[in-house]
Amino acid sequence: MGEIRNIIYAPSGELIATASNGEHIAKIWNAASGACLHSYSTYGSIHRMLISRRADRLHVKTGDRLLTYDLTSYTLISTLQCSDRRSLDCVYSQWGNTVVTSSATDPYTIHSPGTLNQPRRVQSPRCLTSPAAVSPDDTELIAASGEPGETKALTFDAETGQHRRTFELPGHAQKITYAPDGIYIAFIFNDGSVNIFDRVSAMRVARLDPLPAGGVLDSDITFLPDNSALIIPDNSGNIHVLNVRDALRLQ
């Protein structure tokens, strides 16, 4: 087995999923005993994994597809892939119940892996691009506008794909994330500035101290579970903690 490059716990802590360099295999382990329960062939290098809240699904992202495995029957139950087999971009909700895919030729599409729900195409009045995010309650998608010269983000209903609101942003967004309670949305812009917007009104409610100039963000940004702070890793190995609660109080 090669060097482990990806390791995640199930939310309950009972299972662990691992992936190794040079292997197209995801392995499921019993966290208490250390026993390997099953190995799944993924047909490609593994970029990301996610275990569902109930620990009954494993989602595996490879270069051109998203695979969903049943952790009870150990079977492959869903495969999402681009029509032209090009690289597939995926955005997950917190527990993988909702997945949004896009590629160079396929528009944003909303999926519910492992269910009978049909894929829903996003009905956007504008071209969309990354970054994108799914709300914690699985009801909404937000994505940046890809129109030249525009600095907007648009939200869409996850059930219908219909456009909901448009956010007027002060710059081009590099990262987007929802707060755990879904009330706020955080944007990090290319110049390192960080803004918090109200999800419903689409109005800016706080500005946070900017990140150091020139930092490139390769990892996802996350809120602490109580919404009090943003955790922002950069490509230099630093982790920035920005106080959201105080910024909101001062506005």
pLDDT digits (tens, 9 = 90+) for 26-50: 999 999 999 999 999 888 888 889 9
In the prediction, which pLDDT does 17 show?
95
Name the average pLDDT for the chain. Answer: 86
Residues forming beta bridges with residue 143, ordered by sequence position: 132, 154
* Domains of the chain: residue spans and CATH: 1-107 (2.130.10.10), 122-251 (2.130.10.10)
In the prediction, which pLDDT does 84 show?
57
Whole-model pTM above 0.85? no
For residue 21, CA distances in Å to 2, 3, 35, 46 come to: 5, 5, 20, 9
In the prediction, which pLDDT does 214 show?
54
d(CA 85, CA 47): 16
In the prediction, which pLDDT does 248 show?
85
Lowest model confidence (mean pLDDT) among 60-69, 133-142, 230-239, 240-249: 230-239
In the prediction, which pLDDT does 163 show?
95
In the prediction, which pLDDT does 150 show?
92
d(CA 143, CA 138): 14
